[in-house]
A and B are shown apart, each in its own frame.
Chain A
Amino acid sequence: MKYRSLLKTTAVMALLAATADTAMAQDKMMRVRINADIRSTDPGVNRDANSDAIVLHMVEGLVGYKDDASIAPLLAKSIDVTADGKAYTFKLRDGLKFSNGEPLTSADVLASWQRYVDPKTAWRCLKDVTGSGVASVTSVTAPDSSTVIFTLEKPTALFLATLARTDCGGTGIYHKSSIDAQGKWVKPVGTGPFLLQEWRSGQYVQLAANPNYVSPGGERTGYVGDKTPKVSTVRFMVIPDDAAAKAGLYSGDIDVISDLNNADVEELSASKQLKVDKVASMGLTGLLFQTRDPLLKDVRIRKALLLSLDIPQIAEALTNGQSPANLSVIPVPSPYSGKVQKDVPARDLAEARKLLAEAGYNGQPIKWLATKFYPSLFDAAVLVQAMAQEADINIEIETLDWATLLDRYTAGNYSAMSFTYSARLDPSLSFDMVSGNKDKSPNKVWDNPEGLKLIAESTTISNDKQRQALFDKLEGMIRADVPLIPLYSGTRIGAVRANVEGYKTWPVGYPRMWGVSFAAGK
């Protein structure tokens, strides 16, 4: 009897201790590194990658991305598209609430949309929904409090993907109190799993768990599924220096780094204090040519440059073996990255020299722009210079800061450069990123009228097989013109302290702190 009582007491104490551990773990602040301060908390307005990542913890749109970059309902519970593909009916989930406890209705969707399409808002994606971009929304109506209907001028396969885009702030729906009486943005009051607690300029952005978060249930994937917060507070700390961030992770001053350098993977993976995970990303790092350059306008010289390079070796060197070579604008994780896209031509110096001789190339220097802001871009230039030299191609590297390089890219004022593009989650957008009329958009590298027609066509087709056929055709055309040489899509590498549970790196790369917790008792 005495022993039974002792056993009971011990069990109760153990349970209390475990509960206390769990409670303590939940109360502890999760600290996440960001490499620069955010620009604003206004979704899709004056934003950058860090701003998007944090804002998307607080607001949600009608639809969102899944881990594989496909689209799924988020605030919507169902989406019906008419047979002509012009009208989208979104049924809102039941019981949705903003973080201030107010219910979300279709009126809020309308109000948010009206602010988005007001040119004064300067929403990043305005042109994409008003005709000059992928879709033209002609009307948005709310027949009842839980239904919203978007009507488009023409059908497009990219409408939902545009609404979900991270740089559009996921077209997040916010409560009217997010804006003051003068129409000025105050702070996001959304339906996301977290709410804004404090933004201290240059130091941190602190979010608290949203007590009114309503989970749709289902698997946690991308920005959809169950996003219930498992820690009370998340602090995104501004740590610009990579070495300091790494030291902070080792010392336990921070818990999560969402975007680690390739070179650090081996070292951090060996530490028992840390966990590292990685996934192929949707970006593009490559070499761009100005096809109107007096020298590089000759496709034979561009082809010779391509043939002088050992692309797999360059990708291996630049990414420390973390990313495979990818000579397509379609990133490796895309379901449309098939056999055609995965083909990487072998290095052929003899053929390169032959093409150069045919083109009458006599060792004229090619100015190659690079930046050390992204070390891989400078390293790529150095490797290209060395390899091309073996084919008697004379490359002179000019190093610029990122802002200047971006300026030269925008103006098309370069002969060749190493460049990196942010992630595009649909192949049509990947092709659109590099293609266009150079007279109107000097930043575009591929100006091929037939190609542009095919890209436009690809945005209207929903059938996967038909789209794949179009993308294969486009792949052949762009490879024949060699306006650019993609090198690799990149790899997203995340590292967390060993006691952090539930953190997952994904192709988009932004940190997602819902469903992430500290292991009890650690």
Chain B
Amino acid sequence: MHALSKYVAKRLLWTLPTLLIVAVMVFFLVRMIPGDPAQLILGDSASPEELANLRANLGLDQSVPLQFLYWLGNVLQGDLGHSISNGASVLPLMLDRFQVSAIIVLVAVALATLIAVPAGLIAAWRQNEHVDIAIVAASTLLMSIPSFWLGLMLLLAFGLKLGWLPVVGYVPFTEKPWTAITYVILPVVTLMLIEVGVLTRMMRASAIEILRLEYVMHARAKGLSERKVLLRHVLPNAFAPTWTMIGLVLGGLLGGIAVLETVFTLPGLGRLLVDAIFARDYPVVQGCLLFTALIYVIVNLIVDLCYPLFDPRVTAS
């Protein structure tokens, strides 16, 4: 247990230089993009004086290194600044939007895992047979479909033609849980279908590899049923690489599913980030990217910590 705590502490400490590098890169790269937030706020009729005044009000007239030091000082105190666009405090704004993305991503990835793991296992078990070909074809198809197109098709079918589900809007779970579910069904299903393809392929590939190993042959030779061979000996070992993939997928998706959030009108973190980039809302862009990096690191840490559950050979030491 002591070793585990030390390992976690060490990994968390390692996140600090990562986050610092991300902070520096994000801050300077965002400012290298042409475009002026003051110009976007004032529009086409702004005079040079008005632009200069607004830039001064926003602190954009300072040198970039000075702006960085000022921002970093605030970040270290837990203050990510205020949105240039609407003056809202970045941290609560981000956390509010993250909740929306997190619910959709976590549910979709959990459902995708529940479908992909058995599908991948069956495909590997029945390699090159009809069922394998069907599963591989379906997963390849799902991987190939753009998420926005699939989302629009589902909207068209279940929102417009059948009228079963709402087409636009969002209701928080804290307000009306049942209504909230109707608003997230389509985005969850869209994301789930896309991720099922990726995870099935991963699970199938690793299961095929495991099925060829000698200990599986040994298990069969000693008379274990195929079910027991698959569940006891193949699944845990084949799941480890898939679990890594789930970690990467989760880390990537939690940072934002901007396209789906735009199609389904969800106020998530991805849309916040994209809107902020278009508006050159520097504090929000910086905050979102820093937060995304942190989430990525944390998710992968959790994934690593879960590894010993599937593979006892992996320990904290």
Contacts and interface: CB of A to CB of B under 8 A. Distances in A.
Contact of A201 (B33, B48, B93, B163): B93
B86 A241 contact: no
Chain B, interface size category, equals 35 or more
A245 B33 CA distance: 30
A406 B49 contact: no
Nearest to A247: B167
Contact of B39 (A122, A247, A407): A407
Interface in B38-63: 39-51, 53-54, 57
A310 interface: no
Interface stretch (A174-182, A249-257, A298-306, A388-396): A249-257
Contacts of B57: 122
A327 interface: no
Contacts of A129: none
A241 B263 contact: yes
A38 B86 contact: yes
B264 interface: yes
Interface stretch (A7-15, A397-405, A454-462, A497-505): A397-405
Interface string A425-459: 00000000100000011110000000000000000
Contacts of B262: 240-241, 244
Contacts of A248: 167-169, 265
Interface in A102-155: 119, 122, 124, 127, 132
A244 B50 contact: no
Interface string A397-426: 000111110111110000000010110000
Interface stretch (B105-113, B154-162, B239-247): B154-162
Given A127-B50, A240-B262, A433 B44 contact: yes
B43 A403 contact: no
A449 to B, nearest CB: 19
A202 interface: yes
Interface in A1-46: 36-40, 46
Contact of A406 (B40, B50, B85, B263): B40
A85 B278 CA distance: 44
A106 B272 CA distance: 42
Given A250-B160, A403-B280, A237 B265 contact: yes
Interface residues of A, number: 50
A240 B97 CA distance: 16
Contact of A39 (B33, B41, B264): B41
A243 interface: yes
A402 B33 CA distance: 12
A122 B87 CA distance: 14
Interface string B266-298: 010001100100111000000000000000000
A277 interface: no
B166 A406 contact: no
A379 interface: no
Contact of A202 (B168, B264, B267, B279): B267
A408 B88 CA distance: 28
A342 B205 CA distance: 69
Interface string B60-104: 000000000000000000000000011110000100110000000
B43 A201 contact: no
A238 interface: yes
Contact of A410 (B46, B93, B97, B166): B46
B167 A253 contact: yes
B36 interface: yes
A46 B41 contact: yes
A247 B151 CA distance: 12
B310 interface: no
A252 B15 CA distance: 48
A441 B48 contact: yes
Interface in A222-261: 237-241, 243-245, 247-248, 250-251, 253-254
Contacts of B168: 237, 239, 244-245, 247-248, 251, 253-254
B33 A404 contact: yes
Contacts of A400: 34
B170 interface: yes
Given A201-B267, A247-B156, A403 B278 contact: yes
11 contacts: A203-B170, A237-B265, A244-B264, A244-B265, A402-B278, A403-B33, A403-B34, A403-B40, A403-B279, A421-B44, A422-B45
Q: Nearest 4 A-B pairs (CB), nearest first?
A: A403-B35, A202-B267, A248-B168, A404-B34
Interface of A: 36-40, 46, 48, 119, 122, 124, 127, 132, 167, 200-203, 237-241, 243-245, 247-248, 250-251, 253-254, 373, 400-404, 406-410, 419, 421-422, 433, 440-443
